[in-house]
Each structure stands twice: as structure tokens, then as C-alpha cells.
Amino acid sequence: MGEEGLRKRKGEDKTQEDGQSVGSQEHQTMNLQKQANLFLFLLRPGICMIVGTIIGSGIFVSPKSVLANIGAVGPCLTIWAACGILATLGALCFAELGTMITKSGGEYPYLMEAFGPIPAFLFSWTSLLVTKPSSFAIICLSFAEYASAPFYPGCDPPQVVIKCLAAAAIVIITIVNSVSVKLGSYLQNFLTAAKMIIVAIIIVSGIVLLAQGKTENFKDSFKDSKISVSSIGLAFYNGLWAYDGWNQLNYITEELKNPYRNLPLSIIIGIPLVTVCYVLINISYFTVMTSTELLQSQAVAVTFGDRVLYPASWIVPLFVAFSTIGSANGTCFTAGRLVYVAGREGHMLKVLSYISVKRLTPAPAIIFYGAIAIIYIIPGDINTLINYFSFAVWIFYGLTVLALIVMRFTRKELRRPIRVPIIIPVIVTLVSILLVLAPIISAPELAYLYCVLFILSGLIVYVLFVHFKFNWPQKISKPITMHLQMLLEVVPAEEVTE
């Protein structure tokens, strides 16, 4: 009896131990789930902002140009993935720079700290007169192509119609952002939602078509590819245009909890997520179009909508038009910051950094951007402008990432809340050099020469107007500034705050 009672007691103890161990395992699992949910909750704002910032008009314009340069489906999809990797590495470098030097003005303060005023001035000179206005022009031309495509079924819309529509879009966006910051912000929120809807429609449609077995265009996907240093460089230019905005992600630190930990994680998750979206969108296009058909299409997403969503195909050009106009509005909405910094440093006309007395908007800067963008629209087409923009912008992306490497040795005392492995900026700098030199060496065009000459002409402007500060330019600019102040009712920003 005693032995039997002892066995019973041991069995009960073992059952209790098993129950306790199962309970503790369940408790640990619940804790892990809670931690994972909290982790995702903290990262969600950063990831959403990254996806919203990067996805824009580029994905509806660049697929055709990437394919035209590279020639086949397989290399085309590879280029899109490689562009995403490069954008991720570049964004991590800019995250270190942005949290180390917290001044506004984009790449300007980073170049100023590392190399001094001349490269910083050349950046602001190029941004004000080349990269920012040409970006605005490209997006508005994209809008015009998609908005006019449904009215010219089976043929390309006339260039005069596209250019007039693009110019009208620039004028309207410029007026909206000059008149009211709130109106521009409300418009941006609505258009961002439209952008995400059309991206989701195209991706889901493509997945459904793949599930139905529409895979014939992916057979021998590397056949007939034309791979050279020049073609890869130009394909990267067009692919990276769709990722443009990756260099501005360090501005979202204010929106994140524990930003110095969560910003790099948001970038590592967010940009690959965008990359997956872009690859899936391209796969969706190839489920219903051969390479030849895609190259012949004036507006790729419209052709996709006609073949997949008919009779509701009108949804695609409408939402793509909303998406592109949203990107253009966002470009215009953020235009004032760099102009203000350059004007404050005495590197540009002071009037460009002035603020409207009544409406508190940077009206002179926005009107200036709009005017230069219209000038770019007159002679340019989308592909030429993208190559022109990318060539100029990657010179300064490369210089800025090089600044990060230089400051690792010259400015060791600076606090670095985010510190990336040195191999990452080295890779980005080398790729930047290749992207800048490859098209010039392999397929030289006058557009690149004009761009280099224009950038270097900034040296003459710097020496005459900034370094020596001659009196005669000020005598000319003072009456111009005074008359523009009266016409636009603008004053320096410090007077508005007072």
C-alpha cells in the first residue's frame, strides 16, 4: 500500500510539473507574440512613410525604358531588384548622415561639413536649376501621357497635347501650393491613397493571371538580352528614377519612436517591400504583354488595364493620373526647404527664400520651380530628361556618400546615433562612379556634356557673386527684389515669425 501511494504521489507531481512546463511555454509564446506585435506597431509608421514616399510616377513610366535598354524580361526584373538593393544601401548611408548632422537642406549641409562651401554651392546650384525642376517636369509629362492616352486609342497622343497638358498641370500645382499649404497637404493625402489603390489593383490582377497559368512570356526570359556597360547604366538610371525619394528617409526620424533603432529597421524592411511591389508590377505587365508589345505601348499601365480590367479599364489611367499628379504635388510641396537654406547662406537670390505675408507659403520658390520646369518641358521628352536628371543627381549622391567616408576620419568627434558598416558607403560610392561614367564612355550624348558644363558654370557664379561679393550684382538685384516683394507680397521668413 505504501509503495502504491508513493507511486501515485510521484505521478501527481510529474503531472503538475508537465502542466507547469506547458503553462510556462504558452506564457513565453504569448510574450514573444506581444513583443513581435509591439515591434511591428513601432515600425509601421516608418515603413508606411517609406512606401508612400518612394512609390510614385516612376513605376508607370520606367518599365518601358528599362526594358528598352536591357532587351529581355529576365535582365529587366534583375535590374529592378538591383535598384532596390542600391536604394536600400544608399538610404542607410543617408540615415547615418541625417542623424549625425541634423541641419535641413538635403545633401547641402553634409557636403558643407565634409568638403566646404564650393561642392555645397554646386549642389544647391544644380538642385535649384537642374535636378528639382527636371524632376517636376518628368512627373508632369508622365501625368500628361496617362491623362491623354484614353483619348487617342491605338495611337500615340500628339506631343503638343502632352506638353500643353503637362504645362497646365505645373501651373495648377504651382498655384495650389503658392495659395495654401493646407490645400496642398489635403490634396497630397487624397492622391497618395489613389496611388496605393492602383498599385494594389495591378499587383492583385497580376497574381491572379499568374495563378491562371499566364507564364508564356517568361519562357527563355534571358534570350535576346543586350547587356553592355552602357545599357546597364541607362537601365539603372530609369529604374532608380522609380526609387527616387530614398535619400529623404532620414527626415522621418521625428515620426518614429526610438528612431535611431527603428529607422534602419524601417529602411531594411520598407525599401525591399517597395522592391517586391515594383518587381510584381513588372511581372503583372509581362503576364499580358510580350516585350515587343510593352515597348510599343505609349502608356504601359493603360494597355494593361485595357487587356485585364475591361470594361472598367478607365480606372487605370484615372488612378495613374492621380498618382503622378500626387508625386508632382509632393515635389512642389517640399520645394521651399533647399531654396530657403541656399538663400539664407547668400548662395541664391534672397527673394527666393521669402515667405508670403498673407498665406505663409514660400511662393517665390514655388513659382521659380514651376517656371524652370515649364522651360524643361518645351524641348525635352521623358527619357532624355530622366537620363539628364539621373546623371546630375548621381554625381552628388556619390559625393554625399563619399562625404560620409571622409568624415569617419576627419570628424571622429561627431556623435553617430546610427553607424553603418564602412563597406556599405564604399559600395554605394563605387556604384555611383560607375553610373556616372558608364553612359559617357559607352554612349556619349550632348545632354551629359550640357549637364557637366552647367554644373561647372556654378563655379563662375560662386567666384563672382559669393566669394568676392561684388557690389554691382547687389545693385542690380536690390530693385528686382523690392519689386518682386511688392508684387508677390512676400517678406523674409524671420519677419513673418516675429
Tell whether 6 is covered by a domain. Answer: no
Residue 335 has pLDDT above 70, yes or no: no
Residue 382 is assigned to a structural domain of this protein: yes
Closest CA relative to residue 67, chosen from 283, 310, 235: 235
Residue from 172, 89, 160, 184 nearest 425 by CA: 89
* Residue 334 belongs to some domain of the structure: yes
Assess contact for 235 and 64: CB atoms under 8 A.
Answer: no
pLDDT, one tens digit per residue, over 56-69 is 778 888 899 999 98
pLDDT score at 421: 94
pTM: 0.83
* Burial group, residue 339, by CB count within 10 angstroms (0-12, 13-18, 19+): buried
User: Is 288:207 a contact under the CB 8 Å cutoff?
Assistant: no
pLDDT (mean) for 354-359: 79
Alpha carbons 261 and 38: distance in angstroms, whole number: 14
State residue 26's pLDDT score: 55
Residue 282: band (very low, low, confident or very high) from pLDDT cuts 50, 70, 90: very high
Q: Which residue has the cell 546630375?
A: 392
Per-residue pLDDT at 52 exceeds 80: no
Is 135 in contact with 389 (CB distance < 8 Å)?
yes
- Domain CATH code at residue 149: 1.20.1740.10
Whether 164 shows a pLDDT value over 90: the answer reads yes
Q: Which tops the pLDDT comparison, 396 or 3? A: 396
Quote the pLDDT of residue 338.
65
Those residues whose C-beta lies under 8 Å from the C-beta of residue 404, and which sit 6 or more positions away, are 93, 96, 97, 110, 114, 425
In a domain, 30, yes or no: no
Strands 490-492 and 354-356: antiparallel
Q: Is the pLDDT of residue 30 over 90?
A: no
Farthest CA pair distance, the chain:
116
Average pLDDT for residues 168-190, to the nearest whole number?
A: 80
pLDDT band (50, 70, 90) for residue 281: very high
Letter string b/e over residues 75-85, b meaning 16 or more CB atoms within 10 A of that residue's CB: bbbbbbbbbbe
Under the banding of pLDDT at 50, 70 and 90, the label for residue 108 is confident
The partner residues of 356 in beta bridges, in order of sequence, read 490
Bigger pLDDT: 384 vs 285: 285
Lowest-confidence region among 76-85, 197-206, 316-325 = 316-325
Which helix (H) or strand (E) element contains residue 490?
Answer: strand 490-492
Quickly state the pLDDT bin for 299 (edges 50, 70, 90).
confident
pLDDT of residue 39: 45
HSE at residue 380, side-chain half, CA atoms within 13 A, is 28
Query: Does residue 464 carry a pLDDT above 50?
Result: yes
pLDDT score, position 311: 83
Domain annotation covers residue 461: yes
SS3 for 433?
A: helix
Give the Cβ contact number of residue 248 at 10 Å: 16
Among the listed residues 397, 401, 403, 385, the one whose alpha carbon sits nearest the alpha carbon of residue 435:
397
Question: Is residue 425 within 8 Å of residue 95, measured between CB atoms?
Answer: no
pLDDT, tens digit (0-9, with 9 covering 90-100), for 468-489: 777 776 677 778 778 878 887 7
C-alpha cell at 368: 521659380
Q: What is the pLDDT of residue 178?
A: 83
Burial class of 104 by CB neighbour count within 10 A (0 to 12, 13 to 18, 19+): exposed
pLDDT for 44 equals: 65
Query: pLDDT at position 36, please?
Result: 47
- The CA-based angle 392-397-402, given to 5 degrees, is 130
Comparison of pLDDT for 318 and 340, the residue scoring more? 318
Closest CA to 436 of 389, 382, 376: 389
Give the range among 2-6, 275-279, 346-350 with minimum mean pLDDT.
2-6
Q: How far is CA 293 from the centre of its chain?
A: 28
Residue 13 lies in a domain: no
Of the candidates 91, 85, 75, 83, the one whose C-alpha atom is nearest the C-alpha of residue 59 is: 83
Q: pLDDT tens-digit profile of 110-141?
A: 998 999 989 988 988 888 888 888 888 998 99
Distance CA 1, CA 102 (A): 80
Residue of 347 and 258 predicted with greater confidence: 258
Where b means 16+ CB within 10 Å and e means fewer, 371-389 reads ebbbebbeebebbebbbbb
Mean pLDDT score of the chain: 82
Question: Residue 381 sits in which domain range?
Answer: 45-492
Higher pLDDT, 446 or 279: 279
Residues of 253-275 as b/e, b for ≥16 C-beta within 10 angstroms? beebeebeebbbbbbebbbebbb
Question: What pLDDT, in 10s, does the model give residues 223-264?
Answer: 888 888 888 888 999 999 999 888 876 666 655 677 777 888
* Residue 361 phi, psi dihedral angles, 5° rounding: -115, 150
Q: Which residue has the higher pLDDT, 204 or 102?
A: 204
DSSP code at position 129: I
In a domain? residue 3: no
Q: How many domains does the chain have?
A: 1
- The DSSP code for 356 is E
The predicted pLDDT at position 409 comes to 92
**Residue 16 located in a structural domain:** no
